[in-house]
Structure 1
Amino acid sequence: MTFSIVGRCDKTGQLGIAISSSSIAVGARCPWVRAGVGAVATQNVTLPALGSQILDQLQQARLDPAAALERALAANEWSEYRQVTVIDAQGRTAFFSGREALGTYHAVAGNQCVAAGNMLAGIHVIEAMIPAFENATGALADRLLAAMHAAMAAGGEAGPVHSAALKIAGEMSWPLVDLRVDWADDDPIGKLDTLWQAYRLQMQDYVTRALNPTAAPSYGVPGDE
């Protein structure tokens, strides 16, 4: 049903998530990032509220990821149906898969990353994601997507994948990257990668527009002068 990876870039401090699912619009419910705080993927029979609750525990209560995850799960019903991964701004990680997680499920922590999934073709799908992330080069988005491609090459989900999302926090309070393929009949991860390749060329321009409109570049569209 879902597989994902949360990760941190040790060079930039960026935090991010790449995720895919057989369900529609996975990016609307499952990935959560907060600049300078952490990233959370809440999946399986997901409770979206866990994302912000865990990030609050990391930021306000200054808990480590394991303690923040435990406290959030304890405060909510039906925890055994949840699968959650967490990384904080220091690269520390935690994960949880409840007994009621669907199908074949698995989670693995690596160097400043955690991968997890359910309804998998096999546990090797998740195990393929960690070295793909750790050995990839480039921006955090490139490394997260490399892990997703590795998962698909290893068999992906037991059924078809239909949606995918990429969300990354940089230095600003809003996401630096927030890209989604809400539904595709085939290869949503490939379509997400294509979106990223187009967006990366303009990404910094949108930061500039926000911080200093007088320095904003023009793209030649009506009204954009």
Structure 2
Amino acid sequence: MTFSLVARCAETGQFGVAISSSSPAVAARCAFARAGVGAVASQNVTDPRLGPAALDLMAKGAGAEEAVAQVRASGAFMDYRQVLAVDAQGGTAIHSGPNSLGIWTQAIGRDVVSAGNLLANDGVPAAIVAGFEQATGALGDRLIAAMQAGMAAGGEAGPVHSAGLLIVDRESWPYAELRCDWIDDGCPIKAIARAWEVYQPQAADYVTRALNPSAAPSYGVPGDE
């Protein structure tokens, strides 16, 4: 019911997750990232505990491969889970249990890994990785391009209704966390792409507002001087 990617920007050190599903609010349960540590997606009969567990292991020095191996060994019902991870060195790892739903597969590239289940075909994750590697610009641009490539390759077997984009940079809070938790008509990935288009030019300014409000620009809204 889901396809996603986790990725690292080698230039900036940012980490990101982009994900879409036929289920509601997929990013709320499945997307995890921590500045300076890595990014994880936990999907397919989701256990939201797995993402923070893998990030905790990476924060203590484990690479993505070791973290996923430990989560696989200690987690419950792992035959039903997919877990994707990228670490601070760009190392990647993935676990896909044999009870993943429908057509399920995975693909790994440089600083990026993608997986999905209940897919229209087994080429979708490879298309997502290729889309990420061929795209240019900010990490968010590349994540969006990757998801659009996945949709163009067939996406999920049925319609998708939710999507999310999560990016972390240097601070403990997300640099960007954009979600479309449910849409009846249209494409939630397009909704996220539009939200990123609006948010990206202001993203750094919101960090400045948090760290030093006196240096933050005004946007001309009531009460904003």
Question: Shorter-chain TM-score: what band?
Answer: over 0.9
Over the aligned positions, Cα root-mean-square deviation in angstroms equals 0.8
Task: State the number of aligned residues.
Answer: 224
Cα distance in 1, alignment partners of residues 13 and 159 from structure 2: 33
Q: How does 1:93-104 map to 2 (within 5 A)?
A: 93-104=92-103
Q: Determine the structure 2 residue equivalent to 1:107.
A: 106
Cα distance in 1, alignment partners of residues 130 and 99 from structure 2: 28
Cα distance in 2, alignment partners of residues 76 and 108 from structure 1: 23
Q: What letter matches 1:183 in structure 2?
A: W
Q: Determine the structure 2 residue equivalent to 1:71.
A: 70
Structure 1, unpaired ranges of 5+? none
What SS class does the counterpart of residue 202 from structure 1 fall into? helix
Cα distance in 2, alignment partners of residues 182 and 171 from structure 1: 26
Q: Determine the structure 2 residue equivalent to 1:41.
A: 41
Shift of 1:73: 2.3
What SS class does the counterpart of residue 32 from structure 1 fall into? strand
Q: Determine the structure 2 residue equivalent to 1:174.
A: 173
Shift of 1:189: 0.2
Q: Determine the structure 2 residue equivalent to 1:194.
A: 194
Q: Is the 8 A contact 1:50 1:73 kept in 2?
A: no
Q: Is the 8 A contact 1:65 1:94 kept in 2?
A: yes
Q: Is the 8 A contact 2:72 2:95 kept in 1?
A: no
Cα distance in 2, alignment partners of residues 96 and 5 from structure 1: 13
Q: What letter matches 1:141 in structure 2?
A: G
Q: Determine the structure 2 residue equivalent to 1:19.
A: 19
Cα distance in 2, alignment partners of residues 216 and 77 from structure 1: 46
Q: What letter matches 1:220 in structure 2?
A: G
Q: Larger deviation: 73-82 or 110-119?
A: 73-82
Q: What letter matches 2:86 in structure 1?
A: I
Shift of 1:155: 0.7
Q: For residues 119-171 of structure 1, what are the alpha-carbon distances to aligned partners after superposition, in whole Å with 9 as ceiling and x for unaligned?
A: 00011111111111111000011111111001101111001100000001101
Q: Is the 8 A contact 1:3 1:118 kept in 2?
A: yes
What SS class does the counterpart of residue 201 from structure 2 fall into? coil
Q: What letter matches 2:120 in structure 1?
A: A
Q: Determine the structure 2 residue equivalent to 1:122.
A: 121
Q: Please, what TM-score do these two structures have when normalized by structure 1?
A: 0.98
Q: For residues 61-111 of structure 1, what are the alpha-carbon distances to aligned partners after superposition, in whole Å with 9 as ceiling and x for unaligned?
A: x11111111112222210101001000011000001001100000011101
Shift of 1:220: 2.0
Cα distance in 2, alignment partners of residues 77 and 109 from structure 1: 25
Q: Determine the structure 2 residue equivalent to 1:222.
A: 222
Shift of 1:204: 0.9
Structure 2, unpaired ranges of 5+? none
Q: Please, what TM-score do these two structures have when normalized by structure 2?
A: 0.98
Q: Percent identity?
A: 56
What SS class does the counterpart of residue 122 from structure 1 fall into? coil
